[in-house]
Each structure stands twice: as structure tokens, then as C-alpha cells.
A = this chain, B = another copy of it.
Amino acid sequence: MAGAALLIIGTEMLDPAKADANGPLAREALAGLGIPLRLLLRVEDREESIAAALRAALETCEVVLTSGGIGPTGDDLTREAVASVLGRGIHEDAEWMGTLEARLGERGRALTELGRRQAHLIDGAGRLDNSAGLACGSFIDLGGRVVALLPGVPREFRAMLVEGVLPLVAAKFPGKPDTRTVRFTLAGLPEVQAEEVLRPWYGREGVDVSILPSHGVLRARFSLSAPPARDLAGLEGEIRAAASAGWGIHLVSDEGATLEEKVGERLLDMRWNLAAAESCTGGEVTSRIVSVPGASRYFLGGLCAYHNRAKVELLGVSESVLAEKGAVSEEVALAMVRGARARFGASCAAATTGVAGPGGGSPQKPVGTVWLAVGTPRGERTQLLTFPAERATVVDLATNYALFLLWKSLQGE
């Protein structure tokens, strides 16, 4: 089976925290052709480094894509590095020069000497037109393998990949497999525990598994591919059975819907509406509910009663309960749910109150102590969380567990 490498070229991309939009796009598009990504290489703008990475890619992969380094300036060195590895020259493509001049002319600008580099092509390469930018790409057929040079700007990369590269790669490596994707959303489960179900599938031929954990919610994806003749339904059934048996109540969606989408669906089913009352989560529960398009059909609003005065005056929490039990208590969480239902006139509500930290903790209520409460026409329920963590993590965890508690209540579970 053919495999692919993607070289992300640009010194600024050596910052691992810098998100790369082209990788996920290329990976998914190539998976659709049955070609898994084997190497994902971020490389500085230096000819030797690009050349070394390219040699590694050519050694192990049939499809090699590069992103970036084909612009006009002096630090755009991808063409030069690729040409030197392949022992080829570089020439100016006359037709693309004409396109460049025409496009710049329309904007009343002239082509500079550096700008001409955007019409440079590796000898023997096919030209990849750029419908979204000025630099043309190169597509080089080496017999058993291909190399394609694309621009790094995500809009240009996407256009050239879809319009130029994918059809050529599909023609070169035919026998496009059947593919299926199964997406799961899990809540309230630690990653190590969730992974028990995934582990047997890692590295299995034709199965690509990925998992994205984020503080109480996990998204797992299985991308399946098999030769056209073979049926994937059996494999998919096996995966769904393992997921359902292994994850149980924590399996919120087997279609990749989010927790907040499932909450919304369920509210619409029941013809109920919702309000939120938050303290430590500071608007995050509200924000997640509103992130679903069409949330206005069931969401009335949320109050972040950060200061105790707001809890008393705007939610009707009693001052004596606050004084006696403290703001972080089951009683106050329940009073917030009741206040939110009354003030917004909502059939359901969710509330959070806790110690997000870094300050404010005590031996009895350390940082990470959070009380959750939800109320629906069927009743009320509460939950205590104690996850010592950083402030932002406590907020995320409390938000996800509050949504999960709400979802379970709406399910009647």
C-alpha cells in the first residue's frame, strides 16, 4: 500500500505550538484515496534541512507533498532543495509568467525580479496552477513515486491540493479503497481508560485510529479502508460493538456529535428549554451551549454570578445558606439551579460552583473542588468533583462534567 509524507516547510513552523492547517487537510484527503500519512515533517527554511527531510520521505513513501517555501522571497528554498535532491534544474514557465503578469496588471502592479520566482518550475515537472495565489506548484512523477510542491498559505494549499494534486495522485495510485469513518464522543472517562477500547486497533492494517482528549470529553475516530471488493460493514460492526461494550454510559454519541449538540437534541425532543447559572466556570457552560447553531430554539440564557452579591441579588440564593455552607456547596449549587429556572422561566437548568484556583482553596475545599447541579421537570441531581488541576483545566473539567450530568438527566439515566 502506498504511503505519504508531508513536509511543512518554514522556520516559523518549528514552533510546535503553531497550528498547521494543511496537515489535517492533506491527511484526510489522502486517507480518502487509501494512502496513510507515514511522516509529518516540520522543516526550517534551510536548503540542507529540506533536502535531508525529502530524502527520508522518498526513502519510505510513495507520495511526498511539500507545503510552503515556493514564494518569491529569499527564504523560499523548497524548489532549490527538491531540484538538488533529484539532480534536476529549474526553469521559468513562460505560460505561468504570462498569467502572473496579467494578474498583477489587473491590480496595476508590475512583476518584480523576485516575483518571477513564482513562475519557477523544476525541470520535467508538471505545473500545478494556483487558483488562489501567485506561486505555481510542481508535480514530479518519478515512476514509483511522486513529489508535489504546494504553497503554504492554507487557502492556496487547499485549492492546489483539491484541484491539481488529488486527481493526479488518484490516477497514479488507482484502486481507491472503500472507506468509512466512525466517530465516537465519550464523556466522563479518563483517557487511559478510554484507550483500552482503542488499543487493539492501533496499527491494524486498514484501520487508522485517532483520539483527542480534552478534559473530560474525548473524541475517537476510526478511519477504515479496504480494497473495493471487501466489505467494511463487518469491521464497522465489530468496532461499534467494542465501543458500546467498553464505554457504556460514557458513550455520548456514535456519530461524532458533541456533548452540547446531544444536550440540544434531547431538549428539542422533550420540548424543554434551558438556562445556566455559573460561578467557577465563568460562562464556559453557557458558551458551549451557545456554540451549537440553532441553540436559540432551546437556550434562554446564562448568568455568571461570580460575586456572591450576584448570587443573592440575581439568582435569589439565600444569604444565610451562603454564610452557613459556603459558596462552594451542594446547597448553593441547587439554589443556583432553582434561581436560574425561576428567573429565566426555564424548564431545565445547570449550575456550577467551585474553587478554580490558583488561590481560594482550603483544606476542606482544595482547588479543584466543584459542585454541579442540574434540574429538569423529572427532578434534580448533584455531583461533587475533586480534580486538583490548573485553573483552566478545572474550568474545562467542570464544564464538561456539568454538560455530561445534564445529558444523563435528560436521558433519564
Contact = CB atoms under 8 A, between A and B. Distances in A.
Interface in A274-307: 276, 278, 281-287, 289-291, 293-296, 299-307
Given A18-B212, A302-B304, A309-B345, 15 more contacts: A11-B203, A14-B40, A15-B27, A16-B23, A18-B210, A48-B60, A52-B59, A55-B59, A56-B56, A283-B285, A286-B304, A293-B359, A293-B391, A301-B306, A304-B304
A209 interface: yes
Interface string A315-346: 00000000000000000000000000001110
Given A39-B43, A40-B42, A283-B283, A305 B301 contact: yes
Interface residues of A, number: 79
A300 B290 contact: no
A272 B158 CA distance: 48
Contacts of A40: 13-14, 16, 41-42
B14 A24 contact: no
B296 A358 contact: no
16 contacts: A12-B210, A13-B40, A15-B210, A36-B44, A39-B52, A41-B42, A53-B56, A55-B59, A282-B287, A283-B286, A283-B302, A291-B391, A291-B392, A301-B307, A302-B303, A302-B304
Interface string A135-148: 00000000000000
Contacts of A313: 343
A270 interface: no
A211 interface: yes
B306 A302 contact: yes
Contacts of A303: 301-304, 314
A143 B411 CA distance: 64
Interface of A: 11-18, 20, 23-24, 27, 36-46, 48-49, 52-53, 55-57, 59-60, 75, 202-203, 209-212, 276, 278, 281-287, 289-291, 293-296, 299-307, 309-310, 313-314, 343-345, 356-360, 391-392, 395
A307 B299 contact: yes
Contacts of A16: 20, 23-24, 27, 40
Contact of A14 (B27, B46, B49, B290): B27
Nearest to A315: B301
Contacts of A307: 296, 299-301, 344
A344 B310 contact: yes
A147 B142 CA distance: 33
In this complex, which of A53, A285, A296 has the most chain B Cβ atoms within 10 angstroms of its Cβ? A53
